[in-house]
């Protein structure tokens, strides 16, 4: 019998700004993730003892997020001690990779009911906190790349220069992200995924990063975020177009998705929303770093035997506006099918959890438009990318 992995439901927290006064900053990351695990189980009425694994994305596994945060959250959520968990790090694609591993395990027969999720509290555990001021590359890596690699902001600038994307292009795309996210919130689409969080007696039920009053004039007034004389000398073609306004926001958040083998879902009285059907992961140029979604998308479409025009909705993570716009140029995709409900520029990017938010947006767009196929792809630090194909049921 052919086994099929199906998505039953998806829950995430609102996303909060990762700063001391951010909406979620008082929360412990274990509690934040436990909140969505408990909400996912409760609203689907499943016996939690049937959950065979909880696969968790988390990038900064240090401090409050150390020592397999997935297992801590399972126990904090009150799930049975028999429910195991594992935590993984594929950088920004961590939660998407958790979904892929969960679905692949179902298809392979390793489990019948599994949760995939992710969490990142960037206000508590800042980027690079896990490096402890140590050399995390080593001499052989340095020998292969003697000039050194660069930060993601410089990679975003290199992409903008290579694909002839102007500052106006990037800012216009950023404004679109806020406008699309605001429309989705106003239409009560976003709220379907969100489990409100009680933080010190206050209910947080909306994404904090959305800027409804953003304008092209305001975005145009922001200075370049990564300008450097040393990088200008190394890369004279850079035009310094990447700003805080056309980049993703540093964010706190968590999310989880319930995945089942189709016959198990039907036996338990659960209604599948979509099937997870195809997967791809690639490595790409680590200097350009963020171009991986292009070959990942090509690889996935070839594996599925589909042309880009067959895909009804795309989610391409808005790590930077230049990443999505370069991908659009290469794929020739209609922009109206891309990030229909906005993206990380407006909603934020809790790196270990963002894949769940993208999947939620993708599912809702397919359901709201009666679309069939949705494709999600995510650029990742180190020059990697994931791509996942779902089919609405």
Q: How do residues 346-361 score in pLDDT, each as one tens digit?
A: 999 999 999 999 999 9
| Mean pLDDT of the region 328-334 | 97
Paired residues of 183 in beta bridges: none
* Annotation marks residue 92 as catalytic: yes
pLDDT of residue 127: 85
* Annotation marks residue 35 as catalytic: no
Quote the CA–CA distance of 201 and 343 in Å, as a whole number. Answer: 29
| Mean pLDDT of the region 127-152 | 93
pLDDT of residue 131: 85
pLDDT, tens digit (0-9, with 9 covering 90-100), for 7-16: 999 999 999 9
> Is residue 304 scored above 90 in pLDDT?
yes
Q: Which helix (H) or strand (E) holds 229?
A: helix 229-234
Render the burial of 117-142: b for 16+ CB within 10 Å, e for the rest: bbbbbbbbbeeeebeeeeeeeeeeee
Residue in the structure block whose two tokens are 């770093």 = 289
Quote the CA–CA distance of 258 and 269 in Å, as a whole number. Answer: 14
pLDDT of residue 83: 98
Please report which confidence band the pLDDT of residue 1 belongs to, taking 50, 70 and 90 as the band edges. Answer: confident
pLDDT of residue 133: 85
CA geometry: angle 55, 96, 283, nearest 5 deg: 115
CA 334 to each of CA 26, 143, 306, 312: distance values in angstroms, whole numbers, following the listed order: 41, 42, 16, 10
Phi-psi map region of 104: left, alpha, beta (phi>0 left; psi -120 to 50 alpha): alpha
Residue in the structure block whose two tokens are 């016959």 = 263
Catalytic residue among 58, 111, 278, 379: 379
pLDDT, tens digit (0-9, with 9 covering 90-100), for 195-248: 999 999 999 999 999 999 999 999 999 999 999 999 999 999 999 999 999 999
First to last CA, the chain: 19
> Is residue 55 scored above 80 in pLDDT?
yes
The first and second tokens of residue 1, run together, are 């019998």
The first and second tokens of residue 387, run together, are 């791509």
pLDDT, tens digit (0-9, with 9 covering 90-100), for 78-99: 999 999 999 999 999 999 999 9
| Mean pLDDT of the region 128-140 | 90
pLDDT of residue 63: 94
SS3 of residue 148 by DSSP: coil
pLDDT, tens digit (0-9, with 9 covering 90-100), for 239-273: 999 999 999 999 999 999 999 999 999 999 999 99
Quote the CA–CA distance of 210 and 301 in Å, as a whole number. Answer: 32
* Annotation marks residue 298 as catalytic: no
Task: For residue 298, report the phi and psi dihedrals to the nearest 5 degrees.
Answer: -60, -45
| Mean pLDDT of the region 330-353 | 98
> Is residue 5 scored above 80 in pLDDT?
yes
Catalytic residue among 92, 178, 278, 341: 92
Q: Compute the half-sphere exposure of residue 89: CA atoms within 13 Å on the CB side of its CA.
A: 14
> Is residue 340 scored above 80 in pLDDT?
yes
> Where would I find the beta strands (DSSP E) of 78-129?
85-88, 113-121
% of residues, the chain, pLDDT over 70: 100
pLDDT of residue 48: 98
pLDDT of residue 379: 98
């Amino acid at each position: 019998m052919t086994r099929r992995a199906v998505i039953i439901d998806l829950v995430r927290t609102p996303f909060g700004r990762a700063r001391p006064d951010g909406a979620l900053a008082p929360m412990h990351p274990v509690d934040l993730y436990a909140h969505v695990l408990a909400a996912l189980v409760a609203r689907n009425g499943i016996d939690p003892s049937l959950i065979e694994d909880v696969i968790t994305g988390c990038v900064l596994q240090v401090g409050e997020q150390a020592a397999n945060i997935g297992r801590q959250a399972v126990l904090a959520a009150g799930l049975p001690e028999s429910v195991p968990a594992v935590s993984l790090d594929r950088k920004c694609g961590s939660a998407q990779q958790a979904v892929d591993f969960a679905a692949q395990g179902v298809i392979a027969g390793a489990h019948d009911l599994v949760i995939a999720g992710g969490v990142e509290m960037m206000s508590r555990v800042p980027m690079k906190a896990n490096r402890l001021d140590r050399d995390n590359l080593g001499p052989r890596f340095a020998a292969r790349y003697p000039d050194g690699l660069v930060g993601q902001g410089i990679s975003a600038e290199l992409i903008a220069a290579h694909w002839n994307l102007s500052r106006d292009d990037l800012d216009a795309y950023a404004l679109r992200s806020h406008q699309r996210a605001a429309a989705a919130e106003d239409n009560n689409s976003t709220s379907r995924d969100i489990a409100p969080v009680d933080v010190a007696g206050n209910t947080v039920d909306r994404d904090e990063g959305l800027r409804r009053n953003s304008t092209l004039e305001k975005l145009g007034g922001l200075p370049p975020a990564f300008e450097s004389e040393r990088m200008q000398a190394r890369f004279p073609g850079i035009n310094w177009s990447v700003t805080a306004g056309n980049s993703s926001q540093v964010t706190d958040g968590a999310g989880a998705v319930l995945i089942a083998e189709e016959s198990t879902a039907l036996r338990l009285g659960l209604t599948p929303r979509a099937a997870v059907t195809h997967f791809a992961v690639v490595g790409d140029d680590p200097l350009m770093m963020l171009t991986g979604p292009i070959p990942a998308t090509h690889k996935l479409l070839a594996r599925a035997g589909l042309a880009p025009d067959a895909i009804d909705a795309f989610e391409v993570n808005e790590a930077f506006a230049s990443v999505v716009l370069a991908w659009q140029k290469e794929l020739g995709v209609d922009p109206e099918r891309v990030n229909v409900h906005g993206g990380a520029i407006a909603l934020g990017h809790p790196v270990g959890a963002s894949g769940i938010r993208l999947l939620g947006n993708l599912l809702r767009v397919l359901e709201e438009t009666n679309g069939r196929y949705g494709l999600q792809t995510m650029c990742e630090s180190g020059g990697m990318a994931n791509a996942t194909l779902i089919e609405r049921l």
